[in-house]
Structure formats: C-alpha cells, structure tokens
Amino acid sequence: MKDLDYMAWIESFMTWFNSLVFELSRMLASAGVPEKYQTLGALGLLYLGVVLVVVIFIFGLLAVLRKPKEKKVVAPKEPTEEAAAEPEPLSLSARFKRSLAKTQSSLVGRIDSLLRGRSNIDEDLIEELEEILITADLGMQTTQRLIGTLKAGQAKGTLETPDQVRQLLMEELEKILQIESKPLDVSIAAPFVIMVVGVNGVGKTTTVGKLANQLARDGKKVILGAGDTFRAAAAEQLEIWGERAGVEVIRHAEGADPGAVAFDAARAAVARKADVLILDTAGRLHTKVNLMEELKKIRRVIDREIPGAPHESMLVLDATTGQNALTQAKLFNEVVQLDGIALTKLDGTAKGGIVVAIAAELDVPVRFVGIGEGIDDLRPFDPAMFISALFES
Ligand SMILES: Nc1nc2c(ncn2[C@@H]2O[C@H](COP(=O)(O)OP(=O)(O)OP(=O)(O)O)[C@@H](O)[C@H]2O)c(=O)[nH]1
Ligand SMILES: [Mg+2]
C-alpha cells in the first residue's frame, strides 16, 4: 500500500514538473528563444531557481543562528562581575592628555617620526620641522622664533642629536607659554565681574556655566547675568547651567536690551553680596561694528554700577578655528581691552598648537582651556601640564 502511495506521489510530481518545464519553454518561446534550446533553457532556469532558494535558506538559517548571540553581548540580563566593574577614573593629567591626543599627533607625533632614525641635524631636517610647526597652527611668528633658536644651536654646535632638538623645542615652547600664563584671581574685588565675549558658537555660555560651577564649588557666591537676549532660548540655556552649578541667574525676556540685563545683574550682585558676577553675552561677529559697539555700552553700564568693573573681559576662542582665533582676538581686544582668554574645544582638534600662537602673539593670558562639553571640562591653563601632555609618552 505504501509503495503505491509513493509511486502516485512520484507520478504527480513528474506531471507537475513536466507542466512547469512546458510553461517555462513557452515563456522562452515567446521571448524568442529557438525551439531546440527551449527545453534546455527551461531546465537551466529551474536549476538556477533551486540554487537561489537553497542560498536564501542558508543565509536565513545563519541569521537566525547569530541573533541570540548578539543579544547576549548587547543586553546581558544579569550583570557579570566584569560588567559591574566601573572603569578606572582617569587622573586629571591623563584626562587632559587624552583630550590633546590629536594635537599631540599633529605636532609632536610628526616631529618624532621626522627625528626617528636621524643621526645628524642638517638644513633639510630643520626645513621639514618648520613645515610641521606651521601646519600645526603654531603661527608664523612662533615658528620663526623656534627655527631661529634651532639654527643658532646648530651653528654653535650645541644641537647635534634628535634628542637635543626635541628637548630644545620642548623648553622653548614652555617658555613662550609661561610668559602669558596668569591664573584668574577673583579675590581682588567683590563682586568680581567677568564679562564673557566672543563670536557665535565658540562656547561662551558653556564656559560661563563651567566656571560658575568651579567658583561655587570653591565656596564663592556666584550670580550669572543672561546678557544674550538676542538668540532664542539663550537665557534658558544659561538657566540650565545655573541650576547645575546651583547659582542664581538674572535674566530678561528675549529681545530685551542687554545693557538693562547688565544693570540688573550688577545691582543684584551688589545687593546679594555676591563674590563673582559672570555676564554672558550674545555671540557677535568681530567684523560687525554696531555689535561690537554694544559691548562698549555694556561695559559702561557695569562700570557705573560697580566702579572698576568688569574686572575681567574674557574672550572665548574656539581652538578648532585655528589661526582665525588670532584675528578674532585682535579685533575684540581693540574694542573691549581683553584681560584673559578661554580656549575651548581643545579636545578633538589637531589645532591645539594655536594656544602657543595666542601666547606668543597676543598680550593676553590664556586663563582656561575647555576639553569637553561636561561641567568639569574646563581647566585653568597650565603650561607645564600642557607641554608634558604633548611631549611625554
Ligand atoms: N568638545 C567641546 N565642545 C564644547 C566645548 N565648549 C563648548 N562646547 C560646545 O560648543 C557648542 C556651543 O557652545 P555654547 O556655549 O552654546 O556657545 P556660545 O558661544 O554660547 O554660542 P552662542 O551663544 O550661540 O554664540 C555646544 O555644543 C557646547 O557643548 C569644549 O571645550 N569642548
Ligand atoms: Mg551663548
């Protein structure tokens, strides 16, 4: 009985198969295939179809088999001992060093690969060094000074090995940075007023927030003034920072006169006996005369309320803009006589060499550097730490 079933099944399969071949042959005939190739072509098509189905089946099977494994890695239900272990917190200098990684490789990394394997110091090598220094955003003036020192050393015979070149560059760079490095001292006046200025998007508000947090943590009573009444939601952004830092924010409605905000903030700082008032301002292009004039007006208002203020006109510069930062600094300095610079976004840029150009070419100290978007990512600028982060492996 079973054999009979089996035979019937084979018979119906063959009938189905023949009609399939017949249909395919007819299709090929209508496509213009000559009669003697029609059956062969139909069998070929069937063969390809079967292969395709098998391949899709294998891939499907593989995908199904791999899925549970991925799940295990992405979302372990029970935390294992390894997953529960927190990564070691990085020390301050290690964190600083990590944020300077790109500048390190664009400056010292390239110097090191140039010096590697050299036995003597010649003109060609000094020329190649010059190119590296310029392209790492150290600026023309600094580069000429460094190259001059290297050439003098070579002429005197005191510069004969790659190690000596590296050492000399390191010392000279640190010397340049030390000249314009003075930490901010807010204890010289009360309230000490900081007016933060800069072009759009450089990190002014973020820097105000981070600075407020640091000062508040050091026990200072801080008040923030939302002097950016121009950009929508600028005051809200500052209020969020104020909340994080736990400090009061004086604000007006959008579109209000920034001079009026400065006035109210100065009054509030005096009335509440604040130690520090930090005034955020709207981003402005250094080339727009009327916007720059507005800064003068804000200064006058603050000075009238708190004689001698602002004690610090701080320019925020974005390190990723490279040499353009120098132009901004020169133009802002003409209008508001800058007292200090905060250089943001040093993390993730290869243009960190700009800090050397700023120190060498401007008569304004770099007070802080920004190394990330977090509240703790603002550091007082420390030339020795900067140089060791770049040069020490
Ligand atoms: N990676 C990095 N990002 C930063 C740093 N400082 C600020 N930023 C980011 O830069 C962007 C602009 O920052 P803001 O503080 O709004 O800049 P702003 O100068 O106040 O901008 P405007 O008020 O529009 O002129 C934000 O996304 C910040 O998180 C820094 O040191 N590192
Ligand atoms: Mg802002």
What is the CA(200)–ligand 1 centre distance, in A?
9
The best mutation among 279, 373, 375 to test binding of ligand 1, ranked by most ligand atoms within 8 Å of the C-beta, falls on 373
What is the CA(340)–ligand 1 centre distance, in A?
18
- Distance from C-alpha of 88 to C-alpha of 75, rounded to nearest angstrom: 22
Q: Average model confidence (pLDDT) for the chain? A: 88
CA 128-133-136 angle, to 5 degrees, is 125
Ion ligand 2: protein residues whose beta carbon lies under 5 Å = 204-205
What's the pLDDT score for residue 1?
54
- Ligand 1 pocket member 372 (CB < 6 A): yes
Query: In this prediction, what percent of the chain has a pLDDT beyond 70?
Result: 93
Q: How confident is the model at residue 79 (pLDDT cuts 50, 70, 90)?
A: very low
Using the predicted structure, report yes or no on whether residue 119 has a pLDDT greater than 90: no
Q: Does pTM top 0.85 for this prediction?
A: no
What does the pLDDT look like over 348-390, one tens digit per residue?
899 999 999 998 889 899 999 999 999 999 999 999 999 999 9
The best mutation among 200, 206, 316 to test binding of ligand 1, ranked by most ligand atoms within 8 Å of the C-beta, falls on 206
Give the atom of ligand 1 at the shortest distance from the alpha carbon of 198: 19
What is the CA(361)–ligand 1 centre distance, in A?
25
- What are the phi and psi torsion angles at 367 (to 5°)? -85, -45
Q: How confident is the model at residue 218 (pLDDT cuts 50, 70, 90)?
A: very high
- Distance from C-alpha of 252 to C-alpha of 224, rounded to nearest angstrom: 12
- Ligand 1 pocket member 377 (CB < 6 A): yes
